[in-house]
């Protein structure tokens, strides 16, 4: 047993090896979950350091500055709920805030709670090794610094590891090329620089949620826009709008009710499934609900407030998919283009639904061309543009809206070694295994927020569950003079099998998408999110703490 001190509130400890334990916890990532974790640990009296690769706070909202980036969670359901003062002083201007507003909000949070001095910016973590004698992590940064900490908390993001496609000639392009989540910053504001595309010949690869938000902006400002689509996605209208000044007071008074509702629903949104089956009602009633949700339902309503079986029964799902297909055909004038925009590989909602504002109408514009690269694949990127098997397109700018190595990517891009030298990257390259999405067997004192197996929900609501849980566990260990916690392999396997069984119940697992890891060549196919309803996950976390962390070894 080492002589290293247990978790304490002093800032520098001496471990058995003689090396200084600089911090009780290092939190990697200063997005929504990292900021809250840093706040909670400091408030609980732990010494904590945040490490962030970016030059500022915000995570997703710091990096993704492409024009059109915004929530599809209602702003007021995404906000932190831990401080009533914060809720009351912050005015959201739109039901679905655009990225600059969200980034301003997260900067405000960092300043209000004085979190910035606890964070080392412009610092990328490249490696971490667990010292079994000292029961500590040694975290190594790109600049070569080593930081010793009792706990390492990965708030590195579900969707932060950018993914470029493996297309021949990708580096040969002589014009400007960029990934959507590395959009250049507007020197005068918190958003992205629009000069990237204004008046230019633009090509965009990808038609996921990101592209669907960005494309209407490109179409409005570019000289020409070529959209290279491999798989059409089912999109739904966002129905965003301003929050009028007279609505602010009512909204602020409703926060307790809003968060209570989010605590009850499966996705931690204000939407919940209609308990009726689509087959319980007449065709007219069915159509009336579809129409109401499509025409007026804000945000994810068409997806998450629909008949419950549209997301579990392919026959029910087909009725909804056919309805949305009719809407697409009604909005796109050229029937051949409309046909290409109607998905054929999956049903509505089997992939994360991109939310749109005037997306389909863009294809009625003369300066916009849809290129079906399933029919004619991209052969290569050339110095002057993109060459498919059918034609060559000259471009000034190529935008890669090609997504992320989700869930595992941000963590396995760090060379993380457990006490026996084994690497997390190797482990997950064989099979995705976690214990409740919180810990990984063989990697003691490492926690994850919104990583692989995160609850599939309005993410800040679920991050709050896991941050509170980790903070409570660290308090529990401090009280008992414990230094190390790790799930047993048996508990991890049991929980992983349970997560797989939950995944099997959904239609998400029956198609390809980043949610299944299938966008990354060689990644084992597994649902990267925990498909059970958010209240079930909350209850499981609570029960684990109440049962003194059964399935976890505390030493
Ligand atoms: P992130 O915000 O991804 O932050 C992770 C941080 O970790 C980053 O700043 C990154 O730089 C840092 N980091 C990673 N690796 C390292 C390293 N090795 N060293 C140092 N720092 C590192 N979710 C919703 O619920 N509703 C939405 O409306 C919604 N909209 C989204 C829109 C976009 C464009 C995207 C990409 C995602 C969206 N999401 C949404 C998901 C979103 O990622 C989460 O809501 C949330 O922002 C995640 O917060 P986080 O703090 O866990 O991770
Ligand atoms: P994505 O959904 O993974 O979409 C990537 C797109 O790139 C897909 O159309 C994909 O085609 C295409 N692509 C990838 N590799 C390709 C290749 N080699 N050749 C041709 N096309 C290729 O990524 P995303 O759009 O960035 O969205 C990821 C997630 O981020 C979303 O699902 C959502 O959770 C989150 N997000 C949220 C919001 C919001 O809430 N407002 C906005 C943006 C993003 P295939 O489908 O054929 O693979």
Task: Give yes or no for residue 6 having a pLDDT over 80.
Answer: no
Residue 114 backbone zone (phi > 0: left; psi -120 to 50: alpha; other: beta): left
Say yes or no to pLDDT of 12 above 60. Answer: no
Q: Is the pLDDT of residue 208 over 90?
A: yes
In this structure, are 130 and 228 located in the same domain? no
Per-residue pLDDT band at 1 (split at 50, 70, 90): very low
Average pLDDT over residues 383-409: 98
> Which ranges in 93-208 belong to alpha helices (H)?
99-112
Q: Is 209 exposed, middle or buried (0-12, 13-18, 19+ CB in 10 A)?
A: buried
Cα of 207 vs centre of ligand 1, distance in Å, is 20
Write out the DSSP string of 209-228.
HHHHHHHHHHHHH-SEEEEE
CA of 144 to the centre of ligand 2 (A): 34
Q: Do 145 and 268 reside in the same domain of the chain?
A: no
Contact 72, 355 (CB under 8 A): yes
- Band (pLDDT 50/70/90 cuts) for residue 211 is very high
Question: Which atom of ligand 1 is nearest to 458's Cα?
Answer: 25
Look at residue 291 in the predicted model and tell me its pLDDT: 98
pLDDT in tens, 444-493: 999 999 999 999 999 999 999 999 999 999 999 999 999 999 999 999 99
Domain shared by 140 and 17, yes or no: yes
Residues 448, 392 share a domain: no
Give the C-alpha separation, 330 to 286, whole Å. 19
54 pocket-lining for ligand 1 (C-beta < 6 Å): yes
The mean of the pLDDT values for the chain is 95
Share of the chain above pLDDT 70, in %: 96
Residues 362 and 326 in one domain: yes
Q: Average pLDDT of 102-123?
A: 98
Report the pLDDT averaged over residues 186-202.
96
Count of the separate structural domains present in the chain? 2
Residue 21 — very low, low, confident or very high, per pLDDT cuts 50/70/90? low
Q: Is the residue at 93 inside a domain?
A: no
Residue 91 inside a domain? The answer is no
Q: Which ligand ends up closest to the CA of 210?
A: 2
Q: Buried b / exposed e across 43-55, counting CB within 10 Å, b at 16+?
A: eeebbbbbbbbbe
Residues 208 and 283 in one domain: yes
Instruction: Name the strands in the sheet holding 397-400, side by side, starting at the edge strand that comes first in the sequence.
Output: 176-179, 397-400, 201-205, 224-229, 368-372
Domain end marker among 403, 427, 460: 403
CA of 192 to the centre of ligand 2 (A): 19
Going by C-alpha positions, the residue among 395, 402, 374, 483 that lies closest to residue 25 is 483
Domain interval for residue 139: 9-57+115-161+406-554
Stretch among 15-19, 388-392, 462-466 having the lowest mean pLDDT: 15-19
Give the Cβ contact number of residue 295 at 10 Å: 11
Give the 3-state secondary structure of 394-418: ECCEEEECCCECCCCHHHHCCEEEC
Please state the rounded mean pLDDT for residues 327-346: 98
Atom from ligand 1 closest to the CA of residue 60: 2
For ligand 1, atom 8, the nearest C-alpha belongs to 59
Domain end marker among 403, 423, 443: 403
Q: What sections of 307-376 are H helices per DSSP?
A: 314-331, 335-341
What letter does residue 192 receive in the DSSP assignment?
Answer: B
Which residues does ligand 2 sit against, CB inside 6 Å?
70-72, 159, 165, 205-211, 213, 230-231, 352, 373, 401-404, 514, 519
Which percentage of the chain shows pLDDT scores above 90?
A: 96
Residue 213 CA, closest ligand 1 atom number: 34
pLDDT in tens, 237-261: 999 999 999 999 999 999 999 999 9
Q: Which of 156, 353, 354, 446 to mutate to test the pocket of ligand 1 (most atoms within 8 A of CB)?
A: 156
Testing ligand 1's pocket by substitution, the residue of 27, 28, 30, 31 carrying the most ligand atoms inside 8 A of its CB is: 31
Q: Which of 78, 79, 159 to mutate to test the pocket of ligand 1 (most atoms within 8 A of CB)?
A: 159
Q: Are residues 474 and 445 part of one domain?
A: yes
Same domain membership, residue 412 and residue 300: no
Contacts of 242 (CB under 8 A, 6+ apart): 93, 94, 95
Q: Given the CA of residue 230, which atom of ligand 2 is nearest to it?
A: 47
> Does residue 318 share a domain with residue 368?
yes
Angle at CA of residue 86, ends 84 and 88, nearest 5°: 70
Q: Domain holding 28: CATH number?
A: 3.50.50.60
Three-state DSSP class for 499? helix
d(CA 554, CA 552): 6
Say how many Å lie between the CA of residue 212 and the centre of ligand 2. 9
301 located within any domain: yes
Residues 358, 457 share a domain: no
Last residue of a domain, one of 340, 374, 403: 403
**Residue nearest (by alpha carbon) to ligand 2 atom 48:** 519
**Could you identify the atom of ligand 2 that is nearest to the CA of residue 159?**
30
Identify whether residues 426 and 448 lie together within a single domain: yes
- Look at residue 224 and tell me whether its pLDDT is greater than 90: yes
Give me the residues paired with residue 443 across strands.
440
Say how many Å lie between the CA of residue 451 and the centre of ligand 1. 10
Q: Is the pLDDT of residue 3 over 70?
A: no
550 and 410, same structural domain? yes
């Amino acid at each position: 047993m080492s002589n290293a001190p247990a978790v304490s509130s002093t800032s520098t400890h001496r471990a058995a090896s003689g090396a200084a334990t600089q911090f009780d916890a290092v939190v990697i990532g200063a997005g929504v979950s990292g900021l809250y974790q840093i706040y909670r640990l400091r408030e609980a009296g732990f010494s904590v350091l945040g490490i962030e690769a970016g030059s500022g706070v915000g995570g997703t909202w710091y990096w993704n500055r492409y024009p059109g980036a915004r929530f599809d969670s209602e702003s007021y359901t995404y906000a932190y709920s831990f401080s009533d003062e914060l809720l009351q002083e912050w005015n959201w201007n739109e039901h679905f805030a655009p990225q600059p507003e969200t980034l301003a909000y997260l900067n405000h949070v960092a300043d209000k709670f004085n979190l910035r001095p606890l964070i080392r910016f412009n610092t990328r973590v490249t490696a971490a090794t667990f010292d079994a004698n000292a029961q500590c992590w040694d975290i190594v940064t790109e600049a070569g610094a080593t930081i010793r900490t009792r706990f390492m908390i990965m708030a590195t993001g579900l969707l932060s590891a950018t993914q470029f496609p493996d297309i021949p000639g990708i580096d040969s392009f002589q014009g400007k090329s960029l990934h959507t989540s590395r959009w250049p910053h507007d020197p005068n504001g918190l958003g992205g620089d629009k000069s990237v595309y204004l008046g230019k010949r633009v090509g965009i690869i990808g038609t996921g949620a990101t592209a669907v938000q960005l494309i209407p902006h490109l179409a409005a400002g570019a000289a020409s826009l070529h959209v290279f689509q491999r798989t059409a996605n089912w999109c739904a209208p966002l129905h965003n709008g301003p929050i009028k000044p007279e609505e602010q007071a009512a909204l602020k008074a409703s926060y307790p009710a809003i968060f209570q509702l989010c605590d009850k629903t499966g996705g931690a949104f204000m939407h919940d499934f209609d308990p009726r089956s689509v087959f319980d009602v007449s065709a007219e009633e069915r159509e009336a609900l579809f129409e109401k949700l499509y025409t007026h339902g804000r945000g994810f309503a068409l997806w998450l407030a629909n008949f419950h079986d549209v997301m579990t029964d392919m026959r029910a799902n087909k009725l909804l998919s056919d309805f949305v297909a009719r809407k697409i055909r009604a909005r796109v004038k050229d029937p051949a283009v409309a046909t290409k925009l109607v998905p054929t590989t999956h049903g509505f909602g089997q992939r994360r639904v991109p939310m749109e504002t005037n997306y389909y109408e863009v294809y009625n514009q003369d300066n916009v061309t849809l290129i079906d690269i399933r029919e004619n694949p991209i052969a290569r990127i050339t110095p002057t543009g993109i060459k498919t098997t059918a034609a060559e397109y000259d471009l000034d700018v190529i935008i890669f809206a090609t997504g992320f190595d989700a869930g595992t990517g941000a963590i396995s891009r760090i060379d993380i070694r457990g006490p026996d030298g084994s690497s997390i990257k190797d482990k997950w390259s064989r099979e995705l295994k976690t214990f409740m999405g919180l810990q990984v067997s063989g990697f003691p004192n490492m926690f994850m927020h919104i990583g692989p197996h995160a609850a599939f929900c309005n993410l800040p609501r679920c991050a709050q569950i896991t941050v509170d849980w980790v903070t409570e566990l660290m308090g529990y260990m401090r009280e008992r003079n414990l230094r190390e916690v790790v799930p047993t392999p048996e508990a991890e396997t049991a929980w992983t099998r349970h997560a797989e069984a939950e995944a099997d119940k959904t239609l998400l697992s029956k198609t390809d998408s980043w949610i299944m890891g299938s966008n990354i060549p060689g990644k084992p196919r597994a649902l990267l999110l925990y498909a059970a309803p958010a209240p079930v996950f909350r209850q499981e976390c609570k029960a684990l703490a109440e049962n003194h962390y059964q399935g976890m070894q505390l030493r």
